[in-house]
Amino acid sequence: MAFIRIPPGWQLPERDATPETVFFNRRRFLKGLAGAGIAGAVLPLVGCRTQKPLDRAAIAGVQPLAVTLNPAFAQVDRPITNELVAATYNNFYEFGSTKTAIWQNARPLPIEDWKVEVGGLVKNPQTFDLDDLTKKFPLEERIYRFRCVEAWSMVIPWVGFPMNLIIKAVEPTSAAKFVRFTSYYDSKVTPGPLFPPNQFLPFPYTEGMRIEEMANDLAFFAVGAYGHTLPKQHGAPLRAAIPWKYGFKGAKSIVKIEFVDKQPATFWNTLIPSEYKFESNVDPAVPHPRWSQSQERFVGAEPEFAWIEKPTLKYNGYGEYVASLYS
C-alpha cells in the first residue's frame, strides 16, 4: 500500500506492558513514576526492537466460513492488519495481562457445545448454540476499524451478523433500555492477570450498551475473522465488535446476553470509573486521564508491521452511522 509511510523505528514492540495492563501493576507502577513525567511514562507504545517471528500456530484449529463481503463495509482508509499480528497481540484479561502470551494461554477455552443464553426483559427468551446462530442469521464479512483505548488501532475483517437480528429474534419489552454481555468465566480455565489476585477483579467480564446503540446497523456480533472462525484469543466463538467505541466495549467469548432496565455494571467501569466510561465512544477530543486520544498507532500493516501514527477520528470514523444516537 503505497500511501502508507512507515516512520523508521516504529516497529511492533516486544514490550507487553500497556496502559490497561498498567492498572494491574499500579502500585509498583506508581512508585516507578515518582519524579517521572506521567504522560511519557504511561504510554509504552514507542518501540524500536524488532518483533518476534509471526507464528501460524496462533490460528491453528480455525474452520473456514463461507461468507460474502458486505459492500458497505468493504474498505477503510488503511490496509487490513496482518492476520498473525492481530492474532498474537490481544487483550483478554481472563488469560493474563501479557498481550503477546494471551493467544497461547487461551488454548484451554472450551468452545465446543457453546451456548448463548439470551433473556431478561424480552418476550421470547432463547438459548442458541453456535449452529443455531450461524444458520439462523446470514453471515457477512465487514471490514471494520478497531480502536483500543490504549491508543493503538487495527483493521479487522470480521465475519458475523448485525446485533439487531438478535433484538428482532427475542423482542425486548418496552421496559428494556440496556443490554449486558457476559463473557465466559471459569477460574480453573481463566487464570486472569497476575496482579492483583483474581478475586479482586469483577469477573466475569461484562460489557453493555443502550438498546438503541445495539440496534444500530454497525453493532456486530462476530463469529469469525479473516474468512474463518475466530481463534480463541479473539473471543471465540462469539464476540462483540462495536467499531465506534473503544475496543474494551467488545466483550469476548459471550455466554449471556441480557436485556435490562438500568445501566449495567461493567468490568472496566467498575474497576476504574474515572478512566473507562460506560459510553466510551472513540473521541480524539476527550483524553484518557493518563494519555491523549488525539493520535493512534495503527498496527499490523505490511511489510514491516510497523506502528503508523494516525489522527484519531471521532466515532472512529463512523459518525455518519452513529452520530445521531448522541445528538
Ligand X SMILES: Nc1nc2c(c(=O)[nH]1)N[C@H]1C(S)=C(S)[C@@H](COP(=O)(O)O)O[C@H]1N2
Cα 72–76–78 angle (5° rounding)? 165
Cβ at position 216, least distance to ligand X in Å? 19
The C-alpha atoms of residue 287 and residue 230 are separated, in whole angstroms, by 32
Identify the H or E element spanning 19: helix 19-24
Whole-number Å distance between alpha carbons of 130 and 48: 42
Q: State the nearest-atom distance from the C-beta of 93 to ligand X, in Å.
A: 4
71: left (phi over 0), alpha (psi -120 to 50) or beta: alpha
Q: Which residues of 164-182 are buried (b: 16+ CB within 10 A; e: fewer)?
A: bebbebbebeeebebbbbb
Q: Work out how close the CB of 252 gets to Mo ion at its nearest, in angstroms, rounded to a whole number.
A: 11
Q: Does 93 bind ligand X (CB under 6 A)?
A: yes
Which residues, 205 to 234, sit near ligand X by CB under 6 A?
A: 205, 234
Q: Looking at beta carbons only, is 162 or 250 nearer to ligand X?
A: 250
Task: Cell numbers for 89, please give them.
Answer: 497481540
> What x/- string results for residues 233 through 252 when contact with Mo ion is judged by CB under 5 A?
--------------xx----
Nearer to ligand X, 183 or 316 (CB): 183
Kindly report the backbone phi and psi dihedral angles of residue 134, in degrees, each rounded to the nearest multiple of 5, phi listed first. -80, -20
In 3D space, the residue among 3, 55, 86, 6 whose CA is nearest the CA of residue 303 turns out to be 6
Q: How far apart are CA 319 and CA 327, in angstroms?
A: 11
251 counts as binding ligand X under rule CB under 6 A: yes
Cβ count within 10 A of residue 17: 16
Please report whether residue 250 would count as binding ligand X according to CB under 6 A.
Answer: yes
How far from 218 is each of 165, 271, 325, CA to CA, in Å?
Answer: 12, 27, 12
Tell me which of ligand X, Mo ion, none is bound by residue 94, counting a contact when its beta carbon lies within the kind-specific cut-off of 5 to 8 angstroms.
ligand X
Stretch that binds ligand X, among 46-54, 55-63, 66-74, 243-251 (CB under 6 A): 243-251
* Listed ranges 45-53, 87-95, 107-115, 211-219: which one lies at the site for ligand X (CB under 6 A): 87-95
CA angle, corner 268, sides to 210 and 147, nearest 5? 75
Minimum distance from CB of 91 to ligand X (Å)? Answer: 4
| Interaction mask 118-147, ligand X, x per CB under 6 A | ------------------------------
> Does position 148 bind Mo ion by CB under 5 A?
yes
- Per CB under 6 A, which of residues 164..183 are in contact with ligand X? 183
In this complex, which beta carbon is closest to ligand X, that of residue 20 or of residue 83? 20
Binding of ligand X by 94 (CB under 6 A): yes
Q: Give the interface with ligand X as residue ranges (CB under 6 A).
A: 20, 90-94, 148, 183, 205, 234-235, 247-248, 250-253
Q: Give the interface with Mo ion as residue ranges (CB under 5 A).
A: 91, 148, 247-248
